[in-house]
Amino acid sequence: MKQIMITIWMLLLMAWTPTSNSITISGTVYSQEDNYALPGVNVLIKGTTTGAVTDINGKYSLTVPSEGVTLIFSTIGYVKKEIKVGKKRIIDVRLATDVAKLSEIVLSDEEAPEIEKRSLSGKVSGVRVRGNKRMNRTAPANDASYGQLYDRQPQPFNTEEYAAIREIGFLEPTKQPLSTFSIDVDAASYSNMRRFLQQGQNPPKDAVRIEELVNYFSYDYKQPSAEHPFSVNTELSTAPWNEGHYLLHIGLQGKKIPLDNLPASNLVFLIDVSGSMNSPNKLGLLKTAFKMLTKQLRAQDKVSIVVYAGAAGVVLSPTAGDRQQTIMDALEKLQAGGSTAGGAGIKLAYKLAEEQFVSNGNNRVILATDGDFNIGASSNAEMERLIEKEREKGVFLTVLGFGMGNYKDSKMEILADKGNGNYAYIDNALEAKKVLVSEFGGTLFTIAKDVKLQIEFNPAQVKAYRLLGYENRMLQDEDFNDDKKDAGELGSGHTVTALYEIIPADYQGESPYIKSVDELKYQNQSIKQNAVKSKDLMTLKLRYKQPKGTRSQLIVHEVPTNVTKWGKTSDNFRWSAAVAGFGMLLRDSEFKGNANYHLVEQWARSAQGEDREGYRAEFIRLIQSGELLAKN
């Protein structure tokens, strides 16, 4: 079946190719209502499956066969528009808001039993039954370059997998005074969520990890002092979605190391070239991403390329980073086909990384895949132990996810966590640029490892508290002082943000979030006098290790109960609150309070700031898309 699909794809791709009469059309798509640039708009040549997608600034570029073709511009929440190509080579378009009900994508009744399968997380794969017309619910992904041709390949059904998330509820400090968790700098959930919304779908609830949405963005925190590789920043104000509650914002700012001062890198590109990667938004986009990364390398860096499909092999032996054309030529020759023996590829990549190990350098395997791989003779547990073992030797693992339809998010997140690395989802070339160019140091160079936080709340000031997100990063309280316990890594220039919603001790009335527990028979729960006299809201403790270190260092930071009025808070505070509120709406969280899309958009607009790269403007557009989907 897979070979048949590949053949069909190749035939479709050959159905139209540029000729000597081809012309290139470019332009920008705006909202007619507010003249705002629209990212994620599909631009199609009418009567074909050939097109492009607008980038984060609403721009597109498309090669068409002649001046007589018609272009179709469409995106969720806007009226579709057709424009005939004439003599103009720059065509700007304004789309009107569509107030009509969004069209539904449905599957036939007879196909439902086969398609409505559950993933490992226990969630339905994202299809529904209504009527008797069959259409694919999975829309096409963004093109690798936003302007090159791509072929819209249907997926037989959605087999994406996400680990179940059970939101953390409110806890009482008299019973659970400590909150302990590992930092998380991953941002894969955000770009994956964006992919769903731009295709006119709500993301699965378990695909929305609130901490990754919040940490997708950088924040304007103070730079660290010389003593520690990161600074600690806190801010307290009212929770905008729950009257009478506080919201505590905690931010870490990693020290930014100039590119020229970064240690030498020993990188192994581990690339999935199995049949499931045979798509422009998978292997095609992967090549574009790794070429961007290659252009950041220096003479002192080394690159090797390992591929795996039915078997694993080395396609580029260790090569100096300044031989960029050699590296890019090797990438360009990659082709997809065959089954997926991921375990053999990982073992070979680590073997090569060990052989080329650079003392006091950055030794890292970069795995690029859609996650749809088996591991051969090894078990999942065995592979995880291998990655943990290599981590202790100083070889870290970064995971880059590509594609849609059969994407295995749950598997890739675990691999990155075990490998002392980070995890990103690449849905378009601009995301590749963000991860591998703009955030190059943060993605690949660790400045602190095993970073843990432990908060002790003062019960005289706090009735109950709740950590937003970080469900899969929670640690046991005793893990905080255990230097053998793995935790998250912080890269050069990275920021990490965490939010706590707090019910203050003087909160009036009964809270629906606090569950009653019978009084204890054998012990008393009392508050110390020094806590009653203290103005401390909490004590924040952090532990971290140097990248090559084995013993952790401790930072203690006391946070007073100084509540800033919402209107006087920083952009950092209001922006993180808006992103968290949006995440709760997408998850339909029981803790969302009075949050709604209109309010979340207001909070975001008040904190958009300078926004040089346009990421925050794009987020505001995603809020609008989410609201339209929620209404229909």
Beginning with the edge strand found earlier in the chain, give each strand of the sheet holding 395-401 in spatial order: 312-320, 302-308, 265-272, 362-369, 395-401, 423-425
Least confident of 48-52, 166-170, 315-319, 376-380: 376-380
The DSSP line for 522-545 is S------HHHHH--EEEEEEEEEE
Assigned domain for 435 exists: no
Nearest to 276 by CA among 425, 115, 156: 156
Looking at the fold, whether 417 and 306 belong to one and the same domain comes out as yes
Looking at the fold, whether 56 and 203 belong to one and the same domain comes out as no
Give tens-digit pLDDT for 467-484. 999 999 999 999 999 999
Q: How far apart are CA 43 and CA 140, in angstroms?
A: 12
Nearest to 205 by CA among 610, 590, 596, 631: 590
Average pLDDT over residues 190-214: 94
42-48 long-range contacts (CB < 8 A, ≥24 apart) are: 42/72, 42/73, 42/74, 42/75, 42/140, 43/71, 43/72, 43/73, 44/71, 44/72, 44/74, 45/16, 45/69, 45/70, 45/71, 45/72, 46/70, 46/71, 46/72, 46/82, 48/15, 48/16
Residue 79: domain span: 2-95
Q: Return the pLDDT at 570.
A: 97
pTM greater than the 0.85 cutoff: no
* 267 strand-pairing partners: 303, 364
Assigned domain for 123 exists: no
Last residue in a domain, options 95, 119, 146? 95
Looking at the fold, whether 247 and 356 belong to one and the same domain comes out as no
Nearest to 40 by CA among 48, 32, 29: 29
Assigned domain for 325 exists: yes
Which range of 269-283, 330-344, 536-550 scores highest in mean pLDDT? It is 536-550
Q: Return the pLDDT at 3.
A: 52
Mean pLDDT of all residues belonging to the chain:
84
Looking at the fold, whether 474 and 611 belong to one and the same domain comes out as yes
Show the 3-state SS of 477-514. HHHHHCCCCCCEEEECCCEEEEEEEEEECCCCCCCCCC
Cα-to-chain-centroid distance, residue 203:
13
Assigned domain for 613 exists: yes
Assigned domain for 439 exists: no
Q: How far apart are CA 189 and CA 215, in angstroms?
A: 10
Pairing of strands 70-74, 42-45: antiparallel
Assigned domain for 101 exists: no
When pLDDT is cut at 50, 70 and 90, the band that residue 529 belongs to is: confident
Average pLDDT over residues 26-40: 82
Percent share of the chain, pLDDT over 70 = 84
Give φ, ψ of 214 to 5 degrees. -65, -40
Under 8 Å between Cβ of 401 and 424: yes
- Between the CA of residue 221 and those of 185, 391, 440, 444, 572, what are the distances in Å? 15, 30, 19, 21, 8
Nearest to 555 by CA among 450, 478, 447, 454: 454
| CATH code of 474's domain | 2.60.40.1230
- Between the CA of residue 111 and those of 117, 123, 124, what are the distances in Å? 11, 18, 15
- State whether residue 272 is helix, strand or coil: strand
Terminal C-alpha separation, the chain: 36
When pLDDT is cut at 50, 70 and 90, the band that residue 498 belongs to is: very high
Looking at the fold, whether 467 and 409 belong to one and the same domain comes out as no
Looking at the fold, whether 345 and 457 belong to one and the same domain comes out as no
Question: Which DSSP category does 589 fall into?
Answer: -
Looking at the fold, whether 410 and 490 belong to one and the same domain comes out as no
- How many residues are given for the chain? 632
Give tens-digit pLDDT for 413-427. 888 888 888 899 998
**Number of independent structural domains in the chain:** 3
What the block records as the tokens of 414 is 């675990």
Least confident of 169-178, 328-337, 405-414, 480-489: 405-414
Average pLDDT over residues 534-549: 94
Give φ, ψ of 164 to 5 degrees. -65, 140
Pairing of strands 42-45, 51-53: antiparallel
- Between the CA of residue 475 and those of 178, 443, 550, what are the distances in Å? 11, 24, 19
Q: Return the pLDDT at 379.
A: 62
Residue 433 clears pLDDT 80, i.e. is over it: yes
Residue 384 clears pLDDT 90, i.e. is over it: no
When pLDDT is cut at 50, 70 and 90, the band that residue 376 belongs to is: low
Pick the more confident residue, 7 or 284.
Answer: 284
Give tens-digit pLDDT for 578-612. 999 999 999 999 999 999 999 999 999 999 999 98
Looking at the fold, whether 228 and 270 belong to one and the same domain comes out as no
| CATH code of 290's domain | 3.40.50.410
Looking at the fold, whether 77 and 217 belong to one and the same domain comes out as no
Assigned domain for 122 exists: no
Question: Which DSSP category does 373 fall into?
Answer: -
Q: How far apart are CA 620 and CA 600, in angstroms?
A: 9
Where are the alpha helices (H) located in 252-408, listed in sequence order? 285-294, 324-332, 342-355, 380-393
Assigned domain for 145 exists: no
Neighbours of 568 (CB within 10 A): 8
Pairing of strands 265-272, 302-308: parallel
Last residue in a domain, options 95, 115, 142? 95
Looking at the fold, whether 296 and 364 belong to one and the same domain comes out as yes
Environment class of residue 299 by beta-carbon count within 10 Å: exposed (0-12), middle (13-18) or buried (19+)?
exposed
Under 8 Å between Cβ of 60 and 48: no
Looking at the fold, whether 486 and 535 belong to one and the same domain comes out as yes
Exposure string of 257-269, with b = 16+ CB inside 10 Å and e = fewer, is: beeeebbbbbbbb
What the block records as the tokens of 449 is 């490892």
Give tens-digit pLDDT for 272-299. 998 888 888 889 999 999 999 999 999 9
Last residue in a domain, options 406, 422, 438? 422
Least confident of 336-350, 444-458, 460-474, 527-541: 336-350
Q: How far apart are CA 275 and CA 256, in angstroms?
A: 40
Looking at the fold, whether 277 and 241 belong to one and the same domain comes out as no
